[in-house]
Amino acid sequence: MIKKFAGAATAVAILCSSSAHAGAPLEAYGALPSIESVQISPDGSALALIATVGDERRIIVKSLSGPVLASAVVGFRKVRNLMWADNEHVLVEASVTTSIDDTTYVGEHWQAVSLNVRTGEYKQLPVKALDSILNIVQGRLQPGVEGKTPVVYTPLYVTVAGNMQRRSGHLDLFKIDLESGFARRVQMGDNQTYDYLTKPDGTVLAKVGYKNNDHTNDATWTLSIRRGSSWLDVAKTTDARNTPELWGVSPDGTSIIIDTWDKQNELWRPTSVALADGKVGDYLGPPREMDGVVDANGVVLGFSHRNEYIEYDFIEPRLKSIWPAFRGAFRAQQVSLASYTPDFKKLILFVTSSNSAGGYYIADTTTKRVDPIGSAYPKVSAADVANVRMIDYTAADGLPIKAVLTTPKGRAEANLPLVVLPHGGPQSQDDVTFDWWSQALASRGYAVLQPNFRGSTNMDHAFMEAGNGEWGGKMQTDLSDGVAFLARAGVIDAKRVCIFGGSYGGYAALAGVTLQKGVYRCAISLAGPSDLAGRLNDEIVKYGDTSSLIRYRKRVYGVQDADDPKLKAISPARHADSVEVPVLLIHGKDDTVVPFSESQKMASALRDAKKPYEFVTLDGEDHWLSNGATRMQMLTAAVAFLEKNNPPN
């Protein structure tokens, strides 16, 4: 087996071998990935991928034998994802920041486009329907076939009167003809249904509903399976905080797989629900945090879990048997299954690690050959990737914290300038795989600390829940405790530390120089919330005081209502007069997650307090830095600010 995988080992060696030299230009790290979402056709003859050409995002379909079969630019929309519906149609998921008149607030609305590989034609889905629908995707896209006609099944919102905020419509399951673009309703839903599961032939298997209980301030989650012309409710739970998730159908088609709460082990675990009688079965797999690996047809192929890297536990028999050998071809690296043919004869792998910018490979499971397709960051060589490793330290209250430390190549780990880079979420995590943001900063001479503070998802459920009520509190000191740890070890100079983060990380950056003193020399907030009280009040007006979003906000902020004085106490904009160092605010005008007004409020507060600050506006940018030009604008401005206020040398 080792000899059969010699090609893969050689390819990895090529990626990792290069003489040391100065870091790559900033744009090598900050540009959008050269290729993304590489998907192989069902017959294994072609690849579809998202490519960045200049600053333009294109869909390219290329035969494995060489020629380009189709290419398209999807207008003003942002391309998010691709999948093959059949060998002639590629489904493109794209989004646009907009509102729908008299129906929705401004949001990031997703739409589907079908690209006909044979003719080169692409059209938005659906083109038309008999019902009054919103032409936005609000659930999973499941390819199928009706006779010989390729179709896709997806939920669409049917408007009745009023608007979505008044929940006067319903989410119905539609079948869309990929040739004509015409949509026909398969299953009527209601204003509680939010997900459907169907087979490729259109047989509806299950649906999931979520109902807010206004009088008891909780919610009811219901899983129903189809029984002839009616529904059978088979699983139900009422919890204001967490609900199960419908993953898909088992490989043998006899059961549905959801995740349910294991009280004994205190975590969510995959669980089977029999389609024959609706009986909820046993937990699947060992008691650890797992996510589902679900194919386009809604079949659960297995589960993923995270150690140092993401690993898979496949339950689909063929994948289970072939995966260990291909995983083993890339030792000490993260191997992600990006795409595959239905017979699993060909796999698309994305491979990244602590010393590689990441690249795509095609694996032939018959010949055991693995060949490179391309790199996500081709201008970043192995020599341009800074040193990355996990470190452990202890918070002031004794809680163990794991963090990622990135240090510049060619410099001793002593007395380094530091940038603390807390992740967003806050229910997220950082790991040792290639991170363009931290690598860009390290290339300029900075050590970068990315703590997985309490509230992160890298540990167990209890660790994540430990962040509730700790905004501006222990979540904040978890960061500065990491700074103190590195300073004691002599790795960094405690007098040369700045903090830089996006979303929740942007909040942490602002809190670090308003609610804390003497830790940071400067702060950069990218789309960080600054006025939690005002933001919560605005969201209550939009979504209602008992909505799931508002219940989540109250839980993580640690408050009972929007008038709780704690909200002002932990809002950086309410403490601008405490700032003693320069602050840089960066925000996208099209951000629908953290409104642009949050940075405007902080800027106004700093101006009124006569504190030093700069404000960079990213025109046309959303919350995720989806546009290449504005992504580089952000990175360039941030590095210039750091070099001015915390020089690396």
What pTM was estimated for this model as a whole? 0.91
- Tell me the mean pLDDT in the region 49-56: 86
- Tell me the mean pLDDT in the region 374-381: 94
Measured CA to CA, the distance from residue 632 to residue 635 in angstroms comes to 5
- Residue 197 has φ and ψ, to the nearest 5°, of -130, 130
| The pLDDT of residue 75 | 66
User: How many percent of the chain have pLDDT more than 90?
Assistant: 73
Contact (CB, 8 A) for 361 and 370? yes
Pick the CATH number of 386-531+571-645 from 3.40.50.1820, 2.60.40.420, 3.20.20.70, 3.30.420.40: 3.40.50.1820
Largest CA distance in the chain: 72
The set of residues, in sequence order, having a beta carbon less than 8 Å from that of 28 and lying 6+ positions away, is 377, 379, 380, 384
Strand segments, DSSP code E, in 520-582 are 522-526
| pLDDT(1) > 70 | no
User: Can you read off the two tokens belonging to residue 151?
Assistant: 């179709």
Domain assignments of the chain as residue spans, ordered by start: 386-531+571-645, 532-570
| The pLDDT of residue 240 | 53
Buried b (16+ CB within 10 A) or exposed e, 492-519: bbeebbbbbbbbbbbbbbbbbbbbbeeb
Residue 454's pLDDT band, with cuts at 50, 70 and 90, is very high
Residue of 78 and 54 predicted with greater confidence: 78
- Tell me the mean pLDDT in the region 576-588: 97
Measured CA to CA, the distance from residue 542 to residue 547 in angstroms comes to 10
Residue 137's pLDDT band, with cuts at 50, 70 and 90, is confident
Q: Is the dihedral of CA 404, 410, 414, 418 positive or negative?
A: negative
User: Can you read off the two tokens belonging to residue 369?
Assistant: 């050959």
User: Can you read off the two tokens belonging to residue 27?
Assistant: 């744009």
Measured CA to CA, the distance from residue 48 to residue 51 in angstroms comes to 10
| pLDDT(330) > 50 | yes
Q: Write out pLDDT tens, residues 596-616.
A: 999 999 999 999 999 999 999
Q: Write out pLDDT tens, residues 30-41.
A: 999 999 999 999
Residue 364's pLDDT band, with cuts at 50, 70 and 90, is very high
Buried b (16+ CB within 10 A) or exposed e, 51-85: bbeeeebebbbbeeeeeebbebebeebbbbbbbbb
